[in-house]
Structure 1
Amino acid sequence: MYCDEDISSIVAQKALINGLRENNVKISVFSVIAAHSRGLIKKIDCKINDIEYHAIIVKKIFYFDKLIKLFYYTPKIMRLIPNVNGANILLFVHGVTSGGCRTAGILKALFYKIKVVLYILDVPEFMNLAGDTGLRQLLKKIDRYIINKYIYNFDKYIVVSEYINSRLHIDLQKSILIEGMYDDEPIVVGGDERNSLLKKRIMYAGTLRDERSIKTIIDAFLQANIHDVIFDIYGFATPKFSQDLILISQQHPNIQYHGFCKNRGELLKKEMNADLLLMLRDPCLEYTKYSFPSKLFEFMASGTPVLVSKLDGINDEYYNYLFVVENFNASEIANCLNRIFKMPHNELKAFGEKAQEFIKQHKTAKVQVKKILDFVVGDDEIA
């Protein structure tokens, strides 16, 4: 298995790896990690829980990690292949990247027993939307050229939205819809403290790149004017927008901006102890059609009710377990917030628990990966 490193998909990668392990697949993980390290390149080879990890940490320099990815994976994986006898080799490429697509294309041409599978979480033109100017724009065009050259060499495709197939012209017979998966590997997060908290809490945790949408959500909360409710905001923001959120927090004490939470266990605990979680995106933004908000699995599994936007990228089956905003504007969101907080506590609690049960029964990594393996290899043995 090949696994690409990207901050927005680390949790999804871990879920896929654990799902493969729970389905008794022998796994080798290859990754290039860009970090603010002292050295230029550092290699790491280790084995944890019978999973082999082969990674290199490269200094975070403009496009340096992408250059390394183009040439690192192929020879590394080629050295592993002769040690596999008889069984099929299944090569997962997690995310659409030039390095992953090129590696899969070359290995597929060299070794007949490899099956290459691309897990598409986003359409390339909607990835890394910020800062595409000058040299970065040129390099992204080169990146796209390499992707387009190799992307149709895969045996199978996993897509998180049915609209990806038509956008990328993927043969439906080669594609399976797996919108994501919940990694139920235990993390110590502490107990439920909701009853001990003096005020109710609404929580947003996720990307803060879409500043206009975040401001709409904040306006909606202020319009709702719900008594004794705190709005907690977690996520990475640009320095300028971070200052704007700090200023808003100072002006409105019931809005609290906490920045990016590095401790995942602590964040999960806060999600469990919130009274409502927000997964709100503007459906007019085209990228929402071609992606599935992976954070939704984590939110629903917390047992806390979730309020979402009506998005094309979310399958209809999920809306039975979610509060839904039909129109993305401050007034509509405010009305939804008021309706939700007028509901009896036991009804809210039961609604959240129903969503939790749905995720933990039907959308775990083990269940979703089993569907993938049945689709890709059937009854064949995997190396």
Structure 2
Amino acid sequence: MTIAFLRATHVAPDPRVEKEVNSVLTEHPDILILGWDRDGDLARDEVLTFPNGRARIIRSGIKSSYGASLGTLLGMALFQLFLLRQLWKHRKDLTAIHASDLGTALSGLIMARILRVPLVYDIYDYFVDSFSVPRTVAPLIERIDTFVINRADVVIIVGENRESQLAKARPKRLVVIHNSPPNTDVQAVRDADYRKRFVYVGILSEGRLISELLELFSRRPDWHLDIGGFGALEGKARQFAADYDSITFHGRLPYAETLKLEAAADCLLAVYDPAVPNHKFSSPNKFYEALMLGLPIIVAKDTGVDELVSNHKVGAVCDYSAASFEATAGRLFADADELTEIQLRARTLFKSTFSWDIMEERLLSIYRSIL
């Protein structure tokens, strides 16, 4: 019997989808992933291999951007038809639907009701706080989101601080599953380079200090930035890497390669703009990866994750500016004894509170209770 994971991205890579699928495979070996390749350059139908098994992924090839435009709305509408058609096609085998964003949740709910199977709504990001939604339609979108939340059998959020975003909803059951990486023994491969190495792998878009940091690292030959991912600023990152020896662009990386790159770093960074509403509730993968790897992380003030960093003393907090980041990083690396303590605190905190073993058990307990 099949569990369908739905995601409105290409899942190439998508760390949260991949680790959740891998965990569920331990008890449910038949998983179907439905995704959306908006660039149209990936396989439409293939089998992905995970440590715990394999899962088939079928991708829609509807061309679309990630921005707010008429073309995006048309693409989203066609993607809903794709989801409905694929779920109906596989209806005889489906035992549960796991929707990973609002772009898949409504279609997931419709088919869950038609097929009489449970729906798990995994809210990676609360839509109206995360994306550039016109004010005229934001209330409607939030009502749709609330409608799905109230009717899903289980709702998952990525941090306790996200519960306040659901104030207008009444979920039947709410579970927190943090963005922790799977427990991995990553061996750091570090060359003899004397420079302090910083790593950022993620979405390359405005609101994450990307442009400002590229400018900063271009004039800091004593520092080095390894940057990877995809998004609107991908071309800019590639150009800076071509022009400056202090920046290396890695493009899209498999998750295992991301962890390997991070393990060789001196510091990770996740500096998000607090003016973006959803950033006040950020739970970036990089925070949990830093804990597992025993690395300090620099985050922006008033972005949710800054409280975790400050309270547990596992990194540093800066204002949302390149100047503040530069000063904060300088102070961080000036205290060698504190860096050693950060490494110890980070690993201890990860094992006791945020390890994927803990999160995996929460996820599996959901499926044990609804199937």
Q: TM over 0.5, yes or no?
A: yes
Deviation (angstroms), 1:144: 7.7
Change (3 A) 1:146 1:373: same
**In 2, distance between residues paired with 1:284 and 1:38?**
34
| 2:267 aligned residue (232, 253, 276) | 276
**In 2, distance between residues paired with 1:44 and 1:102?**
23
Deviation (angstroms), 1:13: 0.9
Higher Rg: 1
1:317-332 aligned within 5 A: 317-319=308-310, 320-332=312-324
Q: Where does the alignment leave 5 or more consecutive residues of structure 2 unmatched?
A: 65-74
Asked if the contact 1:181–1:297 (Cα under 8 Å) also holds between the matched residues in 2, the reply is: yes
Asked if the contact 1:325–1:332 (Cα under 8 Å) also holds between the matched residues in 2, the reply is: no
Paired letter, 1:4: L
Asked if the contact 2:318–2:328 (Cα under 8 Å) also holds between the matched residues in 1, the reply is: no
Deviation (angstroms), 1:30: 3.1
SS in 2 for 1:184: coil
SS in 1 for 2:227: strand
Q: Where does the alignment leave 5 or more consecutive residues of structure 1 unmatched?
A: 82-88
1:292-307 aligned within 5 A: 292-307=283-298
Residue 58 of structure 2 corresponds to 56
Residue 171 of structure 1 corresponds to 170
Asked if the contact 2:296–2:316 (Cα under 8 Å) also holds between the matched residues in 1, the reply is: no
Paired letter, 1:183: P
Paired letter, 2:55: Y
| 1:343 aligned residue (335, 339, 351) | 335
Paired letter, 1:67: L
**In 2, distance between residues paired with 1:148 and 1:203?**
36
Paired letter, 1:179: H
Residue 198 of structure 2 corresponds to 202
Change (3 A) 1:166 1:219: same
Deviation (angstroms), 1:275: 1.3
Asked if the contact 1:95–1:118 (Cα under 8 Å) also holds between the matched residues in 2, the reply is: yes
Deviation (angstroms), 1:373: 4.6
For residues 282-326 of structure 1, what are the alpha-carbon distances to aligned partners after superposition, in whole Å with 9 as ceiling and x for unaligned?
A: 212212124421232223323322112234433844541432225
**In 1, distance between residues paired with 2:120 and 2:142?**
19
Does residue 1:117 correspond to 2:107, yes or no? no
Asked if the contact 1:45–1:53 (Cα under 8 Å) also holds between the matched residues in 2, the reply is: yes
For residues 162-202 of structure 1, what are the alpha-carbon distances to aligned partners after superposition, in whole Å with 9 as ceiling and x for unaligned?
A: 4544444222662223332321256xx654426x3333322
For residues 242-279 of structure 1, what are the alpha-carbon distances to aligned partners after superposition, in whole Å with 9 as ceiling and x for unaligned?
A: 347625863xx463141514354443222111112211
Paired letter, 1:56: I
The CA RMSD over aligned residues, in Å, is 3.9
- In terms of mean alpha carbon deviation, does 165-174 or 150-159 score higher? 165-174
Q: TM-score, normalised by structure 1?
A: 0.74
Asked if the contact 1:278–1:306 (Cα under 8 Å) also holds between the matched residues in 2, the reply is: yes
Deviation (angstroms), 1:29: 2.9
Residue 21 of structure 2 corresponds to 17
Residue 4 of structure 1 corresponds to 6
Change (3 A) 1:201 1:315: closer
**In 2, distance between residues paired with 1:173 and 1:354?**
36
For residues 54-79 of structure 1, what are the alpha-carbon distances to aligned partners after superposition, in whole Å with 9 as ceiling and x for unaligned?
A: 43233342324443123312441x21
Change (3 A) 1:249 1:37: closer
Paired letter, 2:225: F
Residue 153 of structure 2 corresponds to 155
**In 2, distance between residues paired with 1:208 and 1:266?**
18
The percentage of counterpart residues that share the same residue type is: 17
For residues 198-219 of structure 1, what are the alpha-carbon distances to aligned partners after superposition, in whole Å with 9 as ceiling and x for unaligned?
A: 3332223222201672233346
Change (3 A) 1:52 1:80: farther
Change (3 A) 1:173 1:11: same
Change (3 A) 1:207 1:56: closer
Q: Size of the alignment, in residue pairs? A: 352
SS in 2 for 1:79: coil
Paired letter, 2:198: I
Asked if the contact 2:198–2:269 (Cα under 8 Å) also holds between the matched residues in 1, the reply is: yes
**In 2, distance between residues paired with 1:257 and 1:192?**
16
